[in-house]
Amino acid sequence: RERLKETVRLRLREFDVGDRFSHLPLRKASVLLPLMIRAGKLHLLLTVRSMQLRRSPGEVCFPGGKSEAADKDEIDTALREAQEEVGLEPEKVEVICRLMPGIDKMNHLVTPVVGFIEHTFQATPNPDEVSDVFVVPLEYFIRPLNHKTLPYKSPSGSLSWMHCFMYEDQERKRSYRIWGLTAHFAVFLALVIFGKRPTFEVDYDLDNLISSAEKNFMNLYASLSERKKSNL
């Protein structure tokens, strides 16, 4: 287990963006990508949003939310939100890095924060925010049994494609639809850690993953800025 963790730490630190994008003039949000090792394999913890929520009720996502004034940085936001949503105490998370951010449909700059948690962690979901918590083997996001791409309009207004996974949880006899920015972050995390070609097409140059991910993000940000200017 420790050897696997150390390999993952080294891979992820190569992709750590730190606070390089924190200066961008967008409202900020963060999500925590909680990694755990179960039966010698990496797994990701995800949540299902409460049906009571106004925005995206019932959708699968990572623990996270909008930045608050008291948060020192994106890591603080992700850890605070994870504690509020699933009872994960910040000191029980070994934060490894911040990966390339994304932009959600509300035009928030969303930073994914990756951290290890214990495989024994028992979530206590806040029912106002979270209706379910489950784990998925990380490798599913490069070798899925059920994946398709869906057309969608990006925040910049351009037509793009998004990943959509259907994950069948055999233990719990439930299926989960994982798509949008959540799927985008999960795929990128799996590409970084495994360094393998997925069984489906992705928008990256896999031989230059860091630079192509940054180029994709900066193109998205630039087209969003242009659209904002044209709306003024």
Report the b/e string of 204-231 with b at 16+ CB within 10 A: beeeebeeebeebbeebbeebeeeeeee
pLDDT single digits (tens) 95-109: 999 999 999 988 999
Mean pLDDT of all residues in 187-192: 98
Domain ranges of the chain: 1-231
pLDDT single digits (tens) 157-188: 677 789 999 999 988 899 999 999 999 999 99
List all residues 6 or more positions away from 186 whose beta carbon is below 8 Å from its beta carbon: 33, 44, 136, 138, 141, 165, 178
Protein fold of 1-231: Nucleoside Triphosphate Pyrophosphohydrolase (3.90.79)
